[in-house]
Structures are given as structure tokens and as C-alpha cells.
Amino acid sequence: MRVHIATDHAGMELSAHLITELAAKGYEMVDHGPQAYDAEDDYPSFCINAALAVVADQTAGIDALGIVLGGSGNGEQIAANKVKGVRAALAWNLSTATLAREHNDANVVAVGGRQHSVAEATEIIEAFLAEPFSNAERHVRRIGKIATYETTGEVVD
């Protein structure tokens, strides 16, 4: 699986750890930055680029997911969710990580680097990456309604 990762300055240590750790486990890691620490950096471009790459890969039939990191993960999740086709979920424990994949077919996970130890954040992200989508009819239907709104602006009951 290809994994696109992006961060801001607050998640750089976690990002570097994840790139090494996940690559060692066989994931193809693609780093969307930043490449150098800057306390004044602006995370939206990094996160949007990672999200765009996830959608491009998935559209091309490549098995891909994304990770966006920040201090809380909130802004990074918001930025990623602006990309058509992205379902980014903020995960703060194992349950929210696995349910994001199982029920929502989330394709990007957001985690707050200042909210967890490196070990805890790694466990949350690994759980997200490993969990398959259930393909349960009710979840497919709900995701379809979100996609319809995203594409057409129509709210489906």
C-alpha cells in the first residue's frame, strides 16, 4: 500500500518516525512535507497535496491512504477534507481509527502529534491502515449520499 503523509511543524518528529517505521513494515511512503522545520509554516498546502495524491492514486486503481499530522490534527483534517473524494477522519484512539475505515471508508487519517506519545500515535495510525472497509450496505449508502452532495450539491434523504 502507498501511504501519503504530510504534517506541519508540530508533527515533524512523528512524521519522520512514521516514515521510517511504516516503510520498514512494507508501506510505500510518500512524504509531502515540509522538508525543514519552520514554526511559521502553513500546513494546508502540505495536507491538500497529500490528499490530492491519495485521490489520484485511488482513481488510478492504486491501493493508497493518507496521513495528515499537526498539533491537534484538526486543521489538517479540515484541509484534507476540502479535496473532492477525500474522507479524512480525526482519530484519537484505536476505536476512532478503526471505525473511520470500517464504517466511513476514510481514506485519510488525521492525528494530533501533541495529543499522543509517538508510540500511541503510531498504534492509532497502524490500526487505521490495517482496517478494511466493511462494505456493509448501510455504510455504502451513507458514503454515497455524501459523495452525491460533494459532486452535485444535492442533499439526498
9 belongs to the catalytic site: no
User: Is the pLDDT confidence value at 40 over 90?
Assistant: no
Q: Which residues contact 157 (CB under 8 A, 6 or more apart)?
A: none
Across residues 14-18, what is the average pLDDT? Answer: 97
Which residue of the set 9, 17, 103, 139 is catalytic? 103
Residues whose CB is less than 8 angstroms from the CB of residue 125 and which lie 6 or more positions away in sequence, other chains included: 18, 22, 67, 91, 97, 109, 111
**pLDDT tens column, 57-92:** 999 999 999 999 999 999 999 999 999 999 999 999
Element (H, E) at 66: strand 64-70
User: Could you tell me whether strands 28-31 and 64-70 are parallel, antiparallel, or unpaired per DSSP bridges?
Assistant: unpaired
Q: pTM of the entire structure? A: 0.96
Q: What is the pLDDT of residue 39?
A: 87
Q: pLDDT tens-digit profile of 87-145?
A: 999 999 999 999 999 999 999 999 999 999 999 999 999 999 999 999 999 999 999 99
C-alpha cell at 111: 492525528
In this prediction, residue 133 carries a pLDDT of 98
Give the pLDDT mean for 33-56. Answer: 94
76 labelled catalytic:
yes
Residue 16's nearest CA partner among 88, 121, 96 is 121
